[in-house]
Structure 1
Amino acid sequence: MKFVDEYRDSEVIKQLLGAIKHQLDDIPPRCRPWQIMEVCGGHTRAIYRFGLDKLLPKEIEFIHGPGCPVCVLPIQVIDQAFALALKPDVILCSYGDVMRVPGSSGSLIQAREQGADVRIVYSPRDALAVALNNPERQVVFLAIGFETTIPATAATLLAADKRQVSNFHLLVHHVCIEPPLLALLEEKDTAIDAFIAPGHVSTITGALPYLSVAATYHKPVVISGFEPADILQSTLMLLRQLQRGKAEVENQYTRAVQVFGNRAAQTTIDRVFELAETTEWRGLGKLRHSGYQLVKAYQRFDATRLISTPDQEETVDHTPCHCADVLCGKLTPDECPLFGRACKPTHPAGALMVSEEGACAAHWQYRQQEVEL
């Protein structure tokens, strides 16, 4: 508890807010706020939970980024999982938040209501255990997430291979943190001034993915922890860079993140996965070298082989909510016309209202009293 209190201490918070205000006094005034994108949904949730955006001066504005793995799931992946789940010999396993993401035919929860065997698991190892306990069934694990969760998926597949488990399969939508940031910066109307980079992802990757953000696009990056003092200190570090006209990658989260990341985890990933040519993202479309696929030696574990027409026609996302604009920092959740009306946690219209790391879900939980229903 003492460790947590250290990063939530009111005096520390006051000192950091004072330092931020003082730093802003040294930066020439401008016609719009400094827009800092917090990439990770964990940061978004912390900002809403602790009201950090309200504590900061009006010259600073947090905008939400595409760092929630459930939120960036394209509708095509949900549709593939839905089709697999409805096969009578398949058990479909994945994390709890994924189950409620709407697809064009429905969510995985709705597939279960239609008789599909859909199970919530807490890790890929749990899904492997389901396969071992049900040798007569085909078990599919919907594997999602950024570099944070990829090592666990890779290690589980290696364990399945070692034990010669033939009924365990992966439907893979693991993605990389760098390409979506570069895609956002390629847009002509981007207003992003700096990035708060995700701490959890960076424990695996280190600082490498953000170097091109700083060097090519001249945008400061600070890798941050998730407590209030972490986020405020990271904001202060970014302002100091902006004041000096610098664009560097700094590491605020030194208690967890090493510059070169976790080499053992990276090696495990490389044994099992390689970068796909293109990967589909919700809100960003197809991005080159932005996601992973199984290497040739392990392609027998690819769950798409269980679908009779894996190269089916591309699904068009007709979701009426503005998830894409919120994911890219162009809108705040309450600026979507469906927010709090046709889209609520009890009946989400889009993925951002599903995951607790989604910007819409966080806004609803911590700001719903401000929404005019």
Structure 2
Amino acid sequence: MKYISEFRDGKLAKKLAMAITQEADPARLYHLMEFCGGHTHAIFRYGVQDLVPGNVTYVHGPGCPVCVLPVRRLDDAVELALTEGVILTTYGDMMRVPGTRQKSLIKAKAEGADIRMVYSTQDSLQIARDNPDRQVLFFAIGFETTTPPTAVAILQAQAEGLKNFTVFCNHVLTPPAIAHIVQAPAEPGEDPVRIDGFLGPSHVSSVIGWAPYEPAARNFRKPIVIAGFEPLDVMQSTLMLIRQINAGRHEVENQYTRVVTRGGNEKAQALVARVLELRDEFEWRGLGTVPESALKIREAFADFDAEKRFAVTPKQSREVKSCECPAILRGVKKPVDCKLFGTVCTPENPMGACMVSSEGACAAYWTYGRKRAAAQTQKEKAA
């Protein structure tokens, strides 16, 4: 199968592993943050960490849009869903993420809220067409990858005169997050996160290109390699980062050339810019408030902005006690460092977003079974 089996070839993996071992200086450590949750899953699914030398370490980053959404925004969505006459629609990963007091959208649905999982914004528009007497609210999440469909949906709703369709916009941006990670001070009681380079987002970069990462690479002297999601993509990108680090370079390089260009998808960017604009700041789970790191709906499309149509009550939101998802998203801790992982927190009973999402680090550790032994040991100790 073109562009799939070629990037899972065992012989090529051995050659790349040998090249990485030869070029990685045994006298130094290499801490490489994979920003995307998709990279994390590829590393664990194919055992990439075991193919590279021990002084090359992958640090899990905040590249899971479901995971980085703060509890407060999820609590707001639950409140909106419980509003009389509202149909809330969203992507599947959001349904089981626990909010304050472990209240999730799926639990709100069990209490009678009309919450529907959709596969696209077009599904939400169709629900609005089919239910003209109801308010249909699309809970929009995601990085730059999912912003064009949201923009298109709002434009379509305006063109069709759909008065019962709104968007609760929670789209976040990756370049500001990378800049924030490398310059944010350590939290009290935590050691600073060491990052020598980044495996840059791939699907995101297919939309925005790789040029937006150049200021972060230049200003913070951290090499960034835009990496594909297959195991050989990750390994080749690792080799490219090691070569940059050894040479003292800090540039943006593009390994994912079969998909990503420097300028990205300019038509998609224009659509997004027409409908959405920067927020002054936005809260990320684990990272705190990050300036100019999210999007909101422009005033010209205010009729389709759920935050303006509906009043949301200010509330005290909080993480599930003892859940280390925020520290995992900062790269400070790994899932096995969390007391809940594999004990009370499992895919069947998730305590945090990192276990729920298909891109979450905890889900990767659990799904591919590589850390279940450690989790079982923790469970036995707890017993």
TM-score band, normalised by the shorter chain?
over 0.9
Letter in 1 for 2:282: T
Matches within 5 A, 1:199-210: 199-210=202-213
Counterpart in the other structure of 1:115: 112
CA distance in 2, matches of 1:325, 1:339: 13
TM-score (norm 2): 0.94
Match of 2:90 among 76, 94, 101: 94
RMSD across aligned C-alpha pairs, in angstroms?
1.3
Partner of 1:45: 41
- State whether residues 43 and 226 of structure 1, in contact with CA within 8 Å, keep that contact through their aligned partners in structure 2: yes
Aligned twin of 1:246: 249
1:250-265, aligned counterparts within 5 Å?
250-265=253-268
Check whether the contact 2:26–2:55 (CA below 8 A) recurs between aligned residues.
Answer: no
Structure 1 runs, 4 residues or longer, greater than 6 Å off:
none
Where does residue 14 of structure 1 map in the other structure? 14
Any unmatched runs of 5+ in structure 2? 186-191
Residues 1:341 and 1:318: Cα distance change in structure 2 (over 3 Å): closer
Identity of aligned residues (%): 46
Structure 2 counterparts to residues 283-322 of structure 1, below 5 A: 283-308=286-311, 310=312, 312-313=314-315, 315-322=317-324
Shift of 1:320: 2.5
| Residue identity matched to 1:334 | V
Alignment of 1:1-373 (within 5 A): 1-24=1-24, 27=25, 29-30=27-28, 33-104=29-100, 106-188=103-185, 189-308=192-311, 310=312, 312-313=314-315, 315-366=317-368, 367-370=370-373, 371-372=375-376, 373=379
Q: TM-score, normalised by structure 1?
A: 0.96
User: How far 1:254 sits from its partner (Å)?
Assistant: 0.3
1:26-64 per-position Cα deviation (integer Å, ceiling 9, x unaligned) = x3613xx31100000011111111010111110100011
The one-character-per-residue Cα deviations of 1:315-372 (angstroms, maximum 9, x if unpaired) are 3435420111100111111111110112111111110000110000110111243232
Q: Displacement, 1:306?
A: 4.1
Is the 8 Å Cα contact of residues 41 and 364 (structure 2) preserved in structure 1?
A: yes
Helix, strand or coil: the match of 1:92? strand
Contact 1:84 1:306 in 2 (8 A): no
**Residues in 2 aligned to 1:129 and 1:273: alpha-carbon distance in whole angstroms:** 22
Deviates more, 1:95-104 or 1:312-321: 312-321
Shift of 1:5: 1.3
Give the CA deviation at 1:134: 0.3
CA contact (8 A) 1:177 1:209 kept: no
Contact kept, 8 Å, 1:321 with 1:336, in 2: the verdict is yes
Other-structure match for 2:189: none
Secondary structure of the residue aligned to 2:140 is: strand
Equivalent pair of 1:319/1:350 in contact (CA under 8 Å): no
The alignment covers a number of residue pairs equal to 368
SS of equivalent to 2:88? strand
Residues 165-188 of structure 1, C-alpha deviations (whole Å, 9 max, x = no match): 000010110000011111111134
Residues 59 and 65 of structure 1: is their aligned pair in 2 closer, same or farther, counting only changes over 3 Å? same
Partner AA of 1:268 in structure 2 = L
Q: Secondary structure at the match of 1:304?
A: helix
Q: Secondary structure at the match of 1:7?
A: helix
Residue by residue over 1:209-249, the C-alpha shift from the partner in whole angstroms, topping out at 9 and shown as x without a partner, is: 21122101100100011111100000000000011010000
